[in-house]
A and B are shown apart, each in its own frame.
Chain A
Amino acid sequence: MQAQNYDAIVVGSGISGGWAAKELTEKGLRVLLLERGKNIEHVKDYPNATKAPWEYPHRGGRTQAMEHDYPVLKRDYPLNEKNLDWWASDKDSPYTEVKRFDWYRGYHVGGRSLMWGRQSYRWSDFDFEANAREGVAVDWPIRYADIAQWYDYVERHAGISGSREGLAQLPDGQFQPAMPLNCGEELIAGRVKTKFGGRRRIIPGRTANATVALPGRSACQYRNACWLGCPFGGYFSTQSSTLPAAMATGRLTLKPFAIVTEVLYDRNTKRATGVRVLDAVSEQTTDYKARIIFLCASTLNSTWLLLRSATDVWPGGLGSSSGELGHNLMDHHFRVGASGTIEEPGLAAKYYYGRRPTGFYIPRYRNLFGDKRPYLRGFGYQGGASRQGWSRAVAELGVGGAFKDAMAQPGDWTIGGTAFGEMLPNHANRVTLDPNKKDKWGLPVLAIDCATGENERLMRKDMMNDMAELLEAAGVKRVRTYDNDYWPGMGIHEMGTARMGRDPKTSVLNAHNQVWDAPNVFVTDGSCMVSTACPNPSLTYMALTARAADFAVAELKRNSL
């Protein structure tokens, strides 16, 4: 077996892996980027990107055959006709649900950066300090000051549009001009600001959609078809943003269909030496050597790989000496909120043009600035206002020509918001290897045992009722609340299982995302998170990855790795 040598190996090509590849190659390293799935080339491999709605036989819906083939994916919106090819096969890659856990995966170059929701928010010291202040889990080993410059750095390259609001709990960034609120949202935002004295605010969603062209990328064309891949490069993805930068250095080798089965570890040097790769197609095994290894395979997949590695030294896997590897799995809980109708005479004569790929955001206000609730932490809302389309016709009485013509015209202005809540870390929420079940390639699958707790249950009451209260205070009519139930994983914001920390006895990674037990192994995807905050996490993965890459290269130059 011939080993092949690189300066660095990056496992996974999604949001985090793309950043690792870009940063490490730009700093002069020869990098091997490994992706377990197929390649997807920018623009060329976006077969549905410019299809019209009527070109899909089922108009985007799901067939009985699809439901049969995707028993997990069918539980929520990802099972659809338009980009089904970009969601991992439940059959090839099964897992064990000790408790129900919805795991929605993208196994291809670019990973979920191609299908992500693109909401991009900075976390604040309210988030980084929360565990320490409340005695929950362990303290984050970093503070906002450690990551602020890296937020600046990744925002400039990724292209984040947003408005500067001066909010302590949601720091401003290096924004491109925001995608503005529409007239319905603007009206309600003004009233909310007045009614709640500025404590609750409706602001434009901050999104990784460019409003100003970037090198090699056009500004957003307002098609709102992002999750099919954007032929304009209008949103941040590995393909549109980080991969071209890494490729441009001439130092990147991208290898699709490369399943990393284990990290190779030398017990004498106490360093990883490389990785073992199983070719997903030929099933041939090859070892690759490198001086540093970045695990960016996604939250559960990076941990899954660690659990399978160096088991001759630690039966629980590489990074398990703390007893925390696989533990503290978290997500954002959501699917709860309220909506209503804006019955404002003037608005009937208002409309909008273009399909904006974002909405509004309501930053967290609970348990901040003197507010005190019977639960810890808080939540934010994502929402929007729009005029109803034809689908309102299904519930309305009517058939015939006049009905048809009326339904082809925009209806009432409606507005609604869904809360995304923080989920506390809990040692009992964990993943392990299931020795009794194997995937298509013979690897023992993950067993996932995760549930929400009392804190989340209490928070959900506010998450639902606060939105109704806000809408009613702003004069919205026919307000209806909903709680559509939530199961861990549905947020597709899975975090934790290889947390950072200050102490090798209680954490898997240090403040620079190094595995305590193997300092040349860095884990910079969502696995590293110590708590979830409530804003969407991907921007923080980008910043942590860029920061860790900078540190790793500096350490390499000092020969301390």
Chain B
Amino acid sequence: MDISTNVEQSGQGSSIDRREAIRRVSLLLGGIALAGSGGFVAACERAQQRAATTTSVGTFTARDVAFLDEVADTILPETKTPGAKAAHVGAFMALMVTDTYTPGEQDVFRAGMRTLDEAAFMAATPAQRLSRLEQLDREQKTYADKKKPDDPPHFFRQMKELALLGYFTSEIGCTEAMRYRETPGRFDPCVPYTPGETTWAGHA
């Protein structure tokens, strides 16, 4: 894909109304007619409430963090173990972009957030969100396979990478999704492994 498509659009996103949100989610899903749009309005309201309980991190507003939480939680949702939102991965992503990304990488990430469209994403159902991220994941994989070292990253690769890092190094990721022993106390070089058993998390 052409990365330049990620670096357009105006920098708003926090002041759209509900009708606009519904219009965008419709676009997001390829113009599929929306049944029961009241549900989306309710979803938007829940998103607003969620933002109210999240605090700003670095250069990201509380609302941004709530949005990133939902993106991460779609990549890594609750299964038999808690998902990314429970592990506060949105705040981690915001901190990492603020503190560790170059200005150019931050621009790509920000533009990606606009492309993904907060209002539309927050209003979408879990199935719709997943479908959208699956599409972006294929897009970033295709891009990554052809990417030259100096090409800019794809925003969804950034998001996925941060979500994975944030989740699997979180307390929930280490101790619930995986297994963690601060002090193993011994080394067994060869033990039986039964399919389904989780990874032993690393230390430092």
Q: Are A224 and B204 in contact (CB under 8 A)?
A: yes
Decide: A181 near B189, CB < 8 A? Known: A59-B165, A405-B80: yes
Q: Within the assembled complex, what's the spacing in Å between the Cα atoms of A227 and B203?
A: 11
Contact A353 B200 (CB under 8 A): yes
| Contact of B28 with A by CB under 8 A | no
Contact A401 B77 (CB under 8 A): yes
Known A59-B169, A64-B99, A224-B203; judge A52-B182 contact (CB<8 A): yes
Say yes or no: is B177 at the interface (Cβ < 8 Å to chain A): yes
Within 8 A of A (CB), among B159-198: 160-161, 164-171, 173-174, 177-178, 180, 182-198
Q: Are B189 and A352 in contact (CB under 8 A)?
A: yes
What are the interface flags for A270-285 relative to B under an 8 Å C-beta threshold, 1 for contact and 0 otherwise? 0000000000000000
- Report the bound CA distance from A441 to B196 in whole Å: 59
The answer, yes or no, to whether B12 is at the interface (CB within 8 Å) is no
Chain B residues whose C-beta falls within 8 Å of the C-beta of A393 in the assembled complex: 164
Interface pair B99/A58, CB less than 8 Å apart: yes
A residues 379-410 near B (Cβ < 8 Å) are: 387, 389-391, 393-395, 397-405, 407-410
Q: Which candidate, A3-11, A343-351, A363-371, A543-551, is the interface stretch facing chain B? A: A343-351
Interface centre among A52, A61, A398, A404 (most CB of B within 10 A): A404
Q: Is the CB of A353 within 8 A of B182?
A: no
- Closest Cβ–Cβ distance, residue A396 to chain B (whole Å): 9
Known: A399-B160, A404-B76. A389 touches B199 (CB 8 A): yes
Is B184's CB under 8 angstroms from A221's CB? Answer: yes
Closest-by-CB residue of B relative to A181 is B189
Q: Is the CB of A356 within 8 A of B95?
A: no
- Is residue B117 within 8 Å, beta carbon to beta carbon, of the partner chain? no
> Contact: A353 with B191, CB < 8 Å?
yes
Is A390 a contact partner of B99 (Cβ separation < 8 A)? no
Task: Please indicate the chain B residues that have their CB under 8 angstroms from the CB of A63 in the complex.
Answer: 99-100
Could you say which of B81, B133, B178 contacts A390, with CB atoms under 8 Å apart? Answer: B178
Q: Does A117 contact B (CB under 8 A)?
A: no
Apart from A354-B187, A398-B137: 15 A-B pairs, beta carbons within 8 A: A53-B203, A54-B169, A54-B173, A62-B100, A64-B100, A64-B101, A82-B204, A182-B189, A351-B197, A352-B190, A389-B168, A390-B199, A402-B79, A408-B81, A408-B173
A residues whose Cβ falls under 8 Å from a Cβ of B: 48, 50-54, 57-65, 82, 179-183, 186, 221-225, 227-228, 348-356, 387, 389-391, 393-395, 397-405, 407-410
